[in-house]
Amino acid sequence: MTTRKRLVVLTGAGISAESGIRTFRDMGGLWEEYDVMEVASIDGWKKNPQLVLEFYNQRRRQLPAVEPNAAHKALADAQNLFNVFVITQNVDNLHERAGSKNVLHLHGELTKARPTGNPSKIIDIGYNDIKWGDTVDGYQLRPHIVWFGEEVPMMNEAIKLIQTAEIFAVIGTSLNVYPAAGLLDYAPKGCPIYLIDPNDINIWRRDVTVIKEKASVGVPKFIEMIKNE
């Protein structure tokens, strides 16, 4: 019996957009009519934490109504063929709900919170609101989200995973947001790299196979392409 190959994928907003989750980059810096720096930066939190809490409460309330799409499901089904590891820039839980077992969230998770004074204490809150005055250990709860102006604590774990990849794919991300955009360069030498996106992406490497399709079409096509590798 042959050992299953390690398939590592990096997913971005494009894969969730097809499920109906809007992305601020598609709206000129506005996210649900909010200026992104007001609601997704550490400075925005310091300036108006109640606004930030309500913004993420709205996102969280909408999440149960959104369903995984064909791209999420294809990656989950690929676990029957490969050892699949998903690194996602998305804060939704659609990969998990589709059935993916190994999911690393680079930018946090909408269904989790943490006290401001203890970043390592991560609490599962499901789809419940966080209210101003909700505290743990005497500290205000905040969304477990990596905002602009904050370090990305899972970056080293993501790099380690990509360095072990035998096949690497980037799905639905513009590769414009650093440090996540730099992850492409950690794929091992000789590792096949695929990019799945309907848009023209500026790729600085020549060893990338581009599948110019939206994720729900491109991911099943990609799995079909690699299933005999």
Active site residues: 107
Question: How far is it, in rounded angstroms, from Cα 174 to Cα 167?
Answer: 20
- Which residues does residue 46 pair with via DSSP β-bridges, in sequence order? none
Question: How far is it, in rounded angstroms, from Cα 102 to Cα 82?
Answer: 12
SS3 assignment, position 148: strand
Among 93, 64, 96, 63, CA closest to 79? 96
Residue 171 near residue 71 (C-beta atoms within 8 A): yes
Cβ within 8 Å of residue 1, ≥6 positions away:
none
Residue 108 near residue 144 (C-beta atoms within 8 A): yes
**Chain centre distance of CA 198:** 18
